[in-house]
Structure 1
Amino acid sequence: MHSKLFEAALGISDPWFVREVDFNAQTKTLTIQIDFVAGSRFSHPEVAGGHPVHDTVTKRYRHLNFFEHDCYLEVRTPRVKLPDGRVVLVEPDWAGKLSGFTLLFEAMVVALAQQMPFSAVARTVGESWHRVYAICERYVDLAVAELDLAGVTAAAVDETSYRRGHNYLTLVADADARKVVFVTEGKDAATVGKFAAHLRENNAAPEQIGVVSIDMSPAFIKGVSEHLPNARITFDKFHVVAHASAAVDKTRRIEQKTDPSLKGLRWTLLKDRDGLPAAQRADLDALIANVTTKRTARAWLYREQLREILERKQINVVSAMLEQWCTNVMRSKVEPMKEVARMIRKHFDGIVAWTQTRQTNGFLEALNGLFQAAKRKARGYVSFKTMRTVIFLIAGKLDFSAINPHAA
């Protein structure tokens, strides 16, 4: 009776059956021995039809725990003889993609790894860090190889460090689906070329990318121009305003050397006025009232004007106002903000493009904190391959169902 119960629980059907169940109370290990009916014939993907059993080998698979007990399946696995004389192993349907595990066990590991560090998953399932990572890497590699990128027309490109020093990787996301579709080492123009090759390998073409959101990295600009011929480069307003905010802070640091009243205003100047407490808002208003005498106040006003200009949607209006803003800044004595004006003039078309595309890298930048936290998942094994696996688990929205029906 217990054999039938375990067969039902495991989803085992003819010709397979549970031959014996052994529980070791000392090690708290449950071992289920599985056999097949004598005389059974088995199919093989290379040759149609049923093939006779030549001999068998015993294979051991880690399965989901039964209650708190580790569970293993010991399977008398057939090797069949094909018509051409070859003898090949036929693994059961529940065998996983990595040797030694069942599909159900692997599905659980992948699901946990999308929410927890590898080390925590390893402790939870009672396996080594390396085995947990190997399962996840295998599933990510298989799923990425099957990606269909035919519908990707807008891309967001960003970089992030994956270990101390100058070790960077480049990520490309489908901007509409908000998911990472490509990860590679480096942050030079060649990384965009690798993405173009990735498109060709996954039912797509570089020519279909119509919009690309990037930072103002010369390497990315060069890469997009060379490898994505139809892509309109967009620099989102958040990047531009961030440069302006840095200029406000730089102006404050310079001016406070001779004006102690500016000390303690750093965060007041960098945060949105409407979000400030009443006391800080009053301090800010008092500063702005002295706009004619304090360069920090003028820098803050320039930043707010820039933000307002980039909120508009008429491209001709934005172009004219941005040109005038640059002219006004260059005539001022706020030197740090002049650097922003020069940057805007240098990248004018891409900044104005934001008016129409409204495409940002916000999705990737919001995830950057997760990527940096994901370094902890590596537990000292911070390689590019590890980080690539982690990033796809976190932000790839990969479909594992074709690989493992239990991992949908």
Structure 2
Amino acid sequence: MTSQLFEAALGIKAPWFVQSVNFDEARRQLTIGVDFVAGSRFAHADAPGEHPVHDTQIKRLRHLNFFQHECYLEVRVPRVRLPDGKVRLVEPEWVGRLDGFTLLFEALVLAMCQQMPFAAVARLVGLSWHRVHAICSRYVELATDAADLSQVSAVAIDETSSRRGHNYLTLVADMAARRVIFVTPERNSNTVAEFAQHLREHGADPQQIASASIDMSPAFIKGVATHLPAARVTFDKFHVIAHASAALDTMRRLEQKTDPDLKGLRWTLLKDRNKLHVEQQRDLDALVARFTSKRTARAWLYREQLRDILDRKQIHVVSAMLAQWCTNVMRSKVEPMKDVAKMIRNHFDGIVAWTQTRQTNGFIEAINGLFQAAKRKARGFVRFTTMRTVLFLIAGKLDFTKINPHAA
């Protein structure tokens, strides 16, 4: 009766059966012996039909805990002799993708690691950090290898910092599915070449990419033009506004050297007005009212005008207003903002394209935030393979069910 109960709980079916159940109270471990019926024959992918058993091996597999106790399956696994004389191992369908685990245990670890740092999961399940990482890495590799990218037509390309200093990863996201589809440690024009090859390897053609949202990195611009030739480049509106905000802050720092009244106004100027406290709004209004004598005030007005222009939807209106904005800035004495005007003129078509595509890298920026938070919780990642695994777990929306039906 006990054996039948465990067979039902474990999903074990003929010719497999539970041969023994042993509980070690001192070690707080439950060990379940699993065997197969004598004389059984087994199928193997290398040859049709069912084949006789040549010999057996004992495999010890970690399974889900039995209440608070660790549970292991000790399985007598057959090796069969094929018609050509070769001997091959036959494993039950519930054996995991990594040696030493069942599919159910791997599914549990995978689900936990999508919400928690590897170290925390390792403590909970009683494994080393390396074994937990190995399970996740194996599943990510299998799922990304099997990914179908044939429907991808619009992408966003951006970088995120991997370590302190100038160390970056480049992410590519499918804009329609809102998921990461490619990660590489590079940040140059070859990055896009690698992505184009990745598309070819996963049922897609680089020519099918009709739109690419990128920042104004010369490397990305060159890479998209060369390797995604059909893609219309869109420069993310928020990157443009970020450049204008940086110019505004530069102007404030320059002017406050001779005007102490500007000290302490940094965040008042950089935040959206509707997110300011009442007192901050009053300080901002008082400053803007002096736009004729304060270059910082004029820089703020230019930034707000740019934001208003890029929020419009008529491409001809945006083109005309943006061109006039650049002219007005270039005639002003707000020197830092002139660099923004020059940048806009150099990338005019891609910035105006935002009006029609409305494609933004905001999704990748959100992923970046989640990734940086995961790094802090884990006290930092060092290896690229670990960072790639974490990014796909967080934002890859990978289908693990084809690998493990319990990983839904």
State the TM bucket, normalised to the shorter chain: over 0.9
Cα–Cα, structure 1 residues 53 and 376, in superposed 2: closer, same or farther, change >3 Å?
Answer: farther
Q: Please tell me the residue identity of whatever aligns with 2:218.
A: P
Contact 1:80/1:89 (8 A) holds in 2: yes
Q: Deviations over 1:42-74 (max 9, x none)?
A: 110111111111111111101010001011000
Percent of matched pairs sharing the same residue: 73
Deviation, 1:14, is 0.6
Structure 1 match to 2:220: 220
Deviation, 1:276, is 1.4
Asked if 1:160 corresponds to 2:157, the answer is no
TM-score (normalised: structure 2):
0.98
Structure 2 match to 1:53: 53
Q: Secondary structure at the match of 2:100?
A: coil
Q: Please tell me the residue identity of whatever aligns with 1:327.
A: T
Cα–Cα, structure 1 residues 380 and 327, in superposed 2: closer, same or farther, change >3 Å?
Answer: closer
Q: Which runs of 5+ in 1 are unaligned?
A: none
Q: Deviations over 1:134-170 (max 9, x none)?
A: 1100000000011111110000001112122333211
Structure 2 match to 1:301: 301
Deviation, 1:176, is 1.1
Deviation, 1:180, is 0.1
User: Which whole-Å CA distance do the structure 2 matches of 1:166 and 1:242 have between them?
Assistant: 20
Deviation, 1:296, is 0.6
Asked if 1:362 corresponds to 2:347, the answer is no
Deviation, 1:359, is 0.1
Q: Secondary structure at the match of 1:207?
A: helix
Deviation, 1:195, is 0.3
User: Which whole-Å CA distance do the structure 1 matches of 2:256 and 2:167 have between them?
Assistant: 37
1:85-234 alignment, distance < 5 Å: 85-234=85-234
Q: Secondary structure at the match of 1:407?
A: coil
| Number of positions where the alignment pairs a residue of Structure 1 with one of Structure 2 | 408
User: Which whole-Å CA distance do the structure 2 matches of 1:265 and 1:380 have between them?
Assistant: 34
Deviation, 1:376, is 4.2
Cα–Cα, structure 1 residues 82 and 376, in superposed 2: closer, same or farther, change >3 Å?
Answer: farther
User: Which whole-Å CA distance do the structure 2 matches of 1:17 and 1:47 have between them?
Assistant: 25
Structure 2 match to 1:44: 44
Deviation, 1:372, is 1.6
Q: Please tell me the residue identity of whatever aligns with 2:81.
A: K
Deviation, 1:393, is 0.3
Q: Please tell me the residue identity of whatever aligns with 2:399.
A: D
User: Which whole-Å CA distance do the structure 1 matches of 2:77 and 2:378 have between them?
Assistant: 35
Structure 2 match to 1:320: 320
Contact 2:154/2:211 (8 A) holds in 1: yes
Q: Deviations over 1:15-51 (max 9, x none)?
A: 1010100000000010000011111111101111111
TM-score (normalised: structure 1):
0.98
Deviation, 1:274, is 1.9
Structure 1 match to 2:19: 19
Cα–Cα, structure 1 residues 154 and 42, in superposed 2: closer, same or farther, change >3 Å?
Answer: same
User: Which whole-Å CA distance do the structure 2 matches of 1:120 and 1:24 have between them?
Assistant: 26
Deviation, 1:375, is 2.3
Deviation, 1:367, is 1.4
| More displaced stretch, 193-202 vs 165-174 | 165-174
Contact 1:64/1:104 (8 A) holds in 2: yes
Q: Please tell me the residue identity of whatever aligns with 1:388.
A: R
Q: Which runs of 5+ in 2 are unaligned?
A: none
Asked if 1:329 corresponds to 2:329, the answer is yes
User: Which whole-Å CA distance do the structure 2 matches of 1:377 and 1:107 have between them?
Assistant: 22
RMSD: 1.0
Structure 1 stretches of 4+ with a deviation exceeding 6 A read: none
User: Which whole-Å CA distance do the structure 2 matches of 1:258 and 1:379 have between them?
Assistant: 43
Structure 2 match to 1:64: 64
Q: Please tell me the residue identity of whatever aligns with 2:171.
A: L
Contact 1:170/1:191 (8 A) holds in 2: yes
Structure 1 match to 2:80: 80
| More displaced stretch, 324-333 vs 370-379 | 370-379
Deviation, 1:264, is 1.1
User: Which whole-Å CA distance do the structure 1 matches of 2:364 and 2:274 have between them?
Assistant: 26
Deviation, 1:78, is 0.6
Structure 2 match to 1:261: 261
